[in-house]
Amino acid sequence: MENNSCIRQKADIEQIIRCKDTVSKLNESFDYLANGLSLVGNSVRLKILYLIFEEKRLCVCDLSDILGMNISAISQHLRKMKDRNLLKTDREAQTIFYSLTIEYEILLKPFFEILDKNKILETV
């Protein structure tokens, strides 16, 4: 616990122990959040997730048409998000539809509600 560059007068040992315990207990939750949020940091993936959130499910061709990007670029983004369990797939004949996993739908909902209410632009 010793840190020679720290200039505080006195450490609150109980606080440090309590916080260490909390962080330790929440470790899996931090990993879960980091997994999802690291992928959302990309503007294209955020748009894809938002569109899928709003429409409930979309195929790669739909996303390609909406975003004006080629199918292979969209597919790469979808694969990354599916590999990290943000998305699930359902096949209908030849078409694969993508939708959010319930866990990430719950996680991302507050962010998308902010977008829907234009709150981000109001605070700038």
Tally of domains in the chain: 1
**Residue 42 carries which DSSP code?**
S
Note the pLDDT of residue 40.
81
Residue 34 lies in a domain: yes
Residue indicated by tokens 């200039």: 7
pLDDT band at 119 (very low <50, low <70, confident <90, very high): low
Query: Is the pLDDT confidence value at 89 over 80?
Result: yes
Residue 45 lies in a domain: yes
Report CA 113 to chain centroid distance, whole Å.
14
pLDDT band at 4 (very low <50, low <70, confident <90, very high): low
Task: Classify the C-alpha dihedral 73-43-114-35 as positive or negative.
Answer: positive
The CATH number given to whatever domain includes residue 75 is 1.10.10.10
**Which whole number is the average pLDDT over 97-111?**
94
Look up the domain containing 46 and give its range. 13-123
Token pair for residue 40? 């959302």
Residue 7 lies in a domain: no
Alpha carbon separation from 11 to 5, 18, 79 (Å, rounded): 13, 13, 47
Which pLDDT tens digit goes with each residue over 7-38? 788 888 998 899 999 999 999 988 888 887 88
pLDDT band at 113 (very low <50, low <70, confident <90, very high): confident
Query: Is the pLDDT confidence value at 120 over 80?
Result: no
Which pLDDT tens digit goes with each residue over 37-85? 887 888 999 999 999 999 999 999 999 999 999 999 999 999 999 999 9
Residue 75 lies in a domain: yes
Residue 8 lies in a domain: no
Residue 1 lies in a domain: no
